[in-house]
Amino acid sequence: GIVMTTAGADQDQAVVLPNLANPVAWSDTLWGTENSVSWECSISLPAIDNQKVWAGLKLTNDQLIATDANQAYFKFQTDATNSEAFTDFTVWHFVHSIGGTDFITALPITVAADTIYHLKIQIDSSRQISCFVDGEQYNLVQSATAGGNIAGTQKGAVKSLALTDNIDFIPYVGIMNQAATARDMVLFYQKMSRILFE
């Protein structure tokens, strides 16, 4: 794997993404919501203060929930500065958006330093998302208010509502510094697959 390190100024970021300017297999492949896409990675954080962390499927590399109308990704943040006002800044959240409506699930997993987290997203043939952490599936919220709602859930097989059809995602893993000190993330691996039918 690799160690991703931000620069030292406030809001500096380090993001891993496919080469979008000179397409390679990762960026030349259409990772569509209709293609039963599966994505996963393993990461760890040496520190868990003054940072935003995001990993999953988005349209842009921006960590903000409001930026992309369609997305499915994991997010951890230690505060609301330059981001959303979560009710709990100690746990993983799973965010998915369908046509501009945001669904935010607060997972019952307290983030700890120097702990390896295996994160996985599975989109089925009905375009519904299943979310896994360390091999365990967690229920996803299926209701939202304007701007999204936050609800704690437990382990279970409740999937998302159907995603918008034919949206081509891009895999992103990123970390943003929220103080004048660089922050690190260890990205052990990332992999992705889809059904090839078009």
> Would residue 66 be called left, alpha or beta, if left means φ above 0 and alpha means ψ between -120 and 50 degrees?
alpha
Is residue 99 exposed (0-12), middle (13-18) or buried (19+ Cβ within 10 Å)?
A: exposed
The CB-side HSE value for 159 (13 A sphere, CA atoms) comes to 13
Tokens of 176: 């943003």
If you search the block for the tokens 């034919």, which residue do you land on? Answer: 166
* pLDDT at 148 exceeding the cut of 70: no
Residue 27 confidence (pLDDT): 82
Average pLDDT rounded to a whole number, residues 49-71: 96
* pLDDT at 147 exceeding the cut of 60: no
Q: What is the pTM of this model?
A: 0.95
Distance of CA 51 to the CA centre of its chain: 15
Average pLDDT rounded to a whole number, residues 57-79: 96
Cα–Cα distances (Å) from 106 to 39, 47, 194, in that order, read 20, 20, 27
Find out whether 20 and 172 touch, Cβ atoms under 8 Å. no
Residue 197's pLDDT band (cuts 50, 70, 90)? confident
Residue 162's pLDDT band (cuts 50, 70, 90)? very high
Residue 153 confidence (pLDDT): 79
